[in-house]
Amino acid sequence: MQSYGDESRPLAALSLPSRIVIGAAACAIAVSVALHLAMMFLHVAPSNTLSKQQSKLISDYVYPEYEQNWKLFAPNPLQQNIAVQVRAQVRTQDGTAQTTGWTDLTALDGRAIRHNPLPSHTQQNQLRRGWELFTNTHDAQDRPIGRRGELSERYIRRIVMLRMSAEWTKDGGRIEQIQVRSQTTAVSPPPWSDEKISDKPVYRVLPWWQVTANDLPEGATNK
């Protein structure tokens, strides 16, 4: 009669080094899961002594990959599509100034994400969060409110130059100024709704920003 004793004890059939590796991996996974759950619990739990003492560590772990918010379930969920668009004034090699057309950075991110099973966090959130930070730290006249407002401007300029400087200078020109605008369009109601809304886009056009060396990607030059 054939014995099935070994099949009921699969680990026993492995060598000692293999069992050690499997045990160590299982312990590492258990510890990682425990730490993750602890961080998320401290993040969403009411403020307490431990979360106050370790607030920086918790924030560094949670943001931006594991950020949680209630926008989807809020009393007033988002009902607009906001696109960030940019253009530049470029000084060509013969000394003439040219203004580029508008480039929709949000649309570029959308095309990179669409049909991509594993889109990068940068493609999904960098531009969107940067624009949210800008709008939350500027007044109706687009003037920065405090230090965070100034930082948000620098952040937007860096994003624009990181993504577009190579395209704008491919013919050897020099970028002198950049301009950013947002295009806000209302989300169309579902077919069964009688609600009537305007589909006309609304633009928020920022003033021209002078490009400085601090706005250039690391290692890049603005000829």
Express each pLDDT in 123-171 by its tens digit. 888 999 999 999 999 998 999 998 889 999 999 999 999 999 999 999 8
% of the chain beyond a pLDDT of 90: 43
Residues 84 and 30 in one domain: no
**Cα 204–Cα 208–Cα 211 angle in degrees, nearest 5:** 130
Work out whether the CA dihedral 31, 34, 36, 42 comes out positive or negative. negative
Domain count for the chain: 2
What does pLDDT average to over the chain? 85
Instruction: Tell whether 40 and 127 lie within a shared domain.
Output: no
Distances (CA, A) of 9 to 5, 12, 16, 18: 7, 5, 14, 14
Tell me, yes or no, whether 132 and 28 share the same domain. Answer: no
**Same-domain status, 57 and 85:** no
Same domain? 48 vs 153? no
How would residue 13 be classed by pLDDT, with cut points 50, 70 and 90?
A: confident
Are residue 124 and residue 16 in the same domain, yes or no?
Answer: no
Residues 36 and 113 in one domain: no
User: Containing domain of residue 133, as a range?
Assistant: 79-215
pLDDT confidence of residue 77: 64
Q: What is the mean pLDDT of residues 98-127?
A: 89
Residue 67 maps to a domain: no
173 and 92 in a common domain: yes
Is residue 2's pLDDT more than 60?
no
Separation CA 39–CA 33 (nearest Å) = 10
Residue 90 confidence (pLDDT): 95
Top-confidence range, 34-38, 83-87, 107-111: 83-87
Domain assignment present for 14: yes
What predicted TM-score, i.e. pTM, was given to this entire model? 0.65
- Whether 190 and 89 map to the same domain: the answer is yes
Q: Is 49 inside a domain boundary?
A: yes
In a domain, 83, yes or no: yes
Q: What is the pLDDT of residues 31-44, one digit of tens each?
A: 999 999 998 888 88
* Position with higher pLDDT, 5 vs 155: 155
- Is 102 domain-assigned? yes
Residue 70, domain member (yes or no) = no
